Amino acid sequence: MKTMRTFSDLVDRIPSPNREFQTATAVIKIRSSQTADLLNMAHIAILGLGNWGTAVARMWLLEGHKVKGWTIEQEVYESVVMDGINKKYLPNHSVEGLEATMRLDEALDGVEIVVLAIPSSVILDVVDEVIPHLRPGHVLIDLAKGLAPGKRLISQAIHEKLDAAQMTNPLAVVTGPTIAPEAAGGVITTALVASEDESVAKRLAETLTTQTFILHAASDPVGAELWGAFKNVIALTCGLVDGLKKVGTLGGDNLKAAIFMAGFKEGCLLLPQLGAKAEVAFGPAGLGDLYVTATSPYGRNRSMGEKLGTGLSLDEALGEMTMVAEGVRAARMFITRADDEGIKVPFTKAINTLLDGEITAEECCRRIVGLN
């Protein structure tokens, strides 16, 4: 953790003139490094205190940043304020020091970085509420990933809303293999921070990287966001295998590997046609994020697929989920976009046919295995 010192503390440690010049120079160099650390401390507002929003809040608090958190959920607000913990979404990790609020104006007051940790289904509505409170100095980070209505990415839709309000605030996208409970617990975690202005991405990576949360700067937010969304579709489908394993003998690692491979192949073919750079597939936002989301027991989309694999209907499975499984919405959005572009996506079509209740989990997996 970076050591916080006041400017006067640093000045008091300047050696007196009668000391040797070499010693004074060495101490000044140390002090300059400490001052740089102090200046790197950021004031951050995290809008949305689900499991990932809470996890990044914890990591940045431990690093010494000043962090506010906004939520619309009364139980989350009370839990953070009264107990210093988010009992609903991340119950085993303290967020002592997090300044929680249910008012957007309070959350954005006095901060430099605004993190949108909002589900993709509602993030654009929240952005509409945020814009009247934005200042020119605010830098936005989008943690939601996926397609928005009108053949746009969510980040592109946010840019359009900013443009309409005659605002030029920088926007970056963060995505990667980030399982929230592990990151909050201190597991070394990497992610990509991507912006059209790479200097913004580099500055954010420098400021927000911690001892255990390592951010890499990139200049392809389109590719990062497309893979960040499509990996949820693959993870959802891989989860079917875990469900089949619970109720019979069909599910297992062999089958999951085949599903994983088919989904990754379709992503490599589809996403470049939608604007992603091909190399993104092999980085943290692509294969890295896909692997952990499709295999981790903490993965929300894998867990959702597991419920479907046991035979539950979509409505029944959704009813058992506490957190949002973005893969369902992403599957719908990608099939619509592919149809509009005239692109064949048999993997995505198979999981959508299951979501529509037209085939079983076993039949869905058999169709996908047949693609290989």
**C-alpha distances in Å from residue 48, one per residue of 9, 67, 305, 327, 344:** 36, 13, 24, 19, 36
Q: At what angle do helices 300-309 and 326-341 cross, to 10 degrees?
A: 90
Distance CA 217, CA 192 (A): 6
In a 10 Å sphere around its CB, with 0-12 CB exposed, 13-18 middle and 19+ buried, how is residue 340 labelled? exposed
Sign for the pseudo-dihedral over CA of 286, 150, 344, 240: positive
Q: At what angle do helices 253-270 and 361-371 cross, to 10 degrees?
A: 60
Beta strand 90-94 with 85-86 is: antiparallel
Strands (E), the chain: 43-47, 66-70, 85-86, 90-94, 99-101, 113-116, 139-142, 147-148, 152-153, 171-175, 189-194, 213-218
Please pick, among 68, 88, 231, 245, the residue that the annotation labels catalytic: 231
Identify whether the C-beta of residue 42 lies closer than 8 Å to the C-beta of residue 113: yes
Ranges of H-type helices in 131-281:
154-164, 180-184, 198-208, 221-247, 253-270
In a 10 Å sphere around its CB, with 0-12 CB exposed, 13-18 middle and 19+ buried, how is residue 154 labelled? buried
Phi, psi of 177 (to 5 degrees): -75, 85
Max CA distance (Å), the chain = 86
The strand pairing partners of 192, in sequence order, are 175, 216
Q: Which pair of structure tokens corresponds to residue 143? A: 């943690």
In 3D space, the residue among 354, 102, 333 whose CA is nearest the CA of residue 241 turns out to be 354
Beta strand 213-218 with 152-153 is: unpaired
Please confirm, yes or no, whether 231 is among the known catalytic residues. Answer: yes
Please count the other Cβ atoms lying within 10 Å of the Cβ belonging to residue 103. Answer: 10
Which residues are tagged catalytic?
231
